Amino acid sequence: MIDDYAAAVQYRMSRPDVDPDRVSLVGVCMGAAFAVALAAREKRLRAVVSIAGGYNIGETFQSAFGVEDFAGYLTQVNALVQQQ
C-alpha cells in the first residue's frame, strides 16, 4: 500500500504542471498511518496531514499473531523497506 502512495507522489512530482517542491500528502484512517510512513521515507514531501489515523495497532497484531510472530513480521517488513 505504501508503494502505491509512493508511486502516486512520484507521478505528481514528475508532471510539468506541478511544482514538486509543493507536493503534500493527506491520509485518513488507515491511510493516515500510510501517509506518515511514506513521509518518513519521502523527504521531498512538503507536508503530511493525518486524520483519525490508526497508528498504534501493534497490540492488536500481537494479540492476533503472538509477540514473536509479529516481531518476525516487522523484521521482514523492515528488511524489505531497506532494500528500496
pLDDT of res. 55: 62
Range of the domain at 49: 1-53
| pLDDT at residue 74 in the model | 84
DSSP the chain: -HHHHHHHHHHHHHSTTS-GGG-EEEEETHHHHHHHHHHHH-TT-SEEEEES-----HHHHHHHH-HHHHHHHHHHHHHHHHH-
3 with 23, same domain: the answer is yes
Note whether 40 and 77 are same-domain residues.
Answer: no
Residues 65 and 79 in one domain: yes
Confidence of residue 84 (pLDDT cuts 50, 70, 90): low
Same domain, yes or no, for 39 and 20? Answer: yes
Q: From the centroid of its chain, how far is CA 74? A: 14
pLDDT value for 56: 66
Model pLDDT for residues 32-67, shown as the tens digit of each residue: 888 888 998 899 999 999 998 766 677 777 877 888
Residues 45 and 83 placed together within one structural domain of the fold = no
- pTM reported for the whole predicted model: 0.59
Q: How confident is the model at residue 12 (pLDDT cuts 50, 70, 90)?
A: very high
Do 11 and 48 share a domain, yes or no?
yes
**Residues 31 and 2 placed together within one structural domain of the fold:** yes
Total domain count for the chain? 2
